[in-house]
Amino acid sequence: MGMIIALAHWQGRISPVFDVSQQLLLVSREACWPHQRRMVQLLYEQPQARAREVAGLGVHVLLCGAVSKMLATALTNEGVRVVGFLCGEVEDVLDAFLSRRLHQSRYRMPGFTKKTLTFEKNVGG
């Protein structure tokens, strides 16, 4: 079974604030096939509509920068695992997620602490 990973994208980096991010890089990860990728434009900013839009793309995991509690809750309620407060080059963050290295401080936004997390249970990699 495959997994779709979405990365909030801005100029090759993780978008700093997902609530106003305009693009997602979708990476379809299959067990024995190369990853398929496509870029999508996000249409909605209202939290419930954005969460439905992301879930409607089949996203299992969202890797993003800062995210409001309201939007993180809406995404979680739609079945999307939110891994927030990330920073760095999109390819580096994707590789860190796939190799379970997102816990390293270099992938966390400046000023990040465990208390900053909206949902600790959803953060990991």
Over the stretch 29-88, which tens digit does the pLDDT of each residue have? Answer: 876 566 789 999 999 999 999 999 999 999 999 999 999 999 999 999 999 999 999 999
Res. 25: pLDDT tops 80: yes
Question: pTM to 2 decimals?
Answer: 0.87
Q: What is the pLDDT of residue 33?
A: 62
Dig out the tokens for 120 from the structure: 């600790």
Give domain limits for the chain. Answer: 1-14+21-39
Q: Cβ–Cβ contacts within 10 Å for residue 3, how many?
A: 15
Q: According to the 3-state scheme, what is the secondary structure of the chain?
A: CCEEEEEEEECCEECCEHHHCCEEEEEEECCCCCCEEEEEECCCCCHHHHHHHHHHCCCCEEECCECCHHHHHHHHHCCCEEECCECCEHHHHHHHHHCCCCCCHHHECCCCCHHHCCCHHHCCC
Tokens at 25, concatenated: 């890089």
Averaged pLDDT of the chain:
87
Q: What's the pLDDT score for residue 114?
A: 58
What is residue 29's predicted lDDT score, i.e. its pLDDT? 81
Does the pLDDT of residue 120 top 90, yes or no? no
Residue with the two structure tokens 């495959």: 2
Q: What percent of the chain has pLDDT over 90?
A: 75
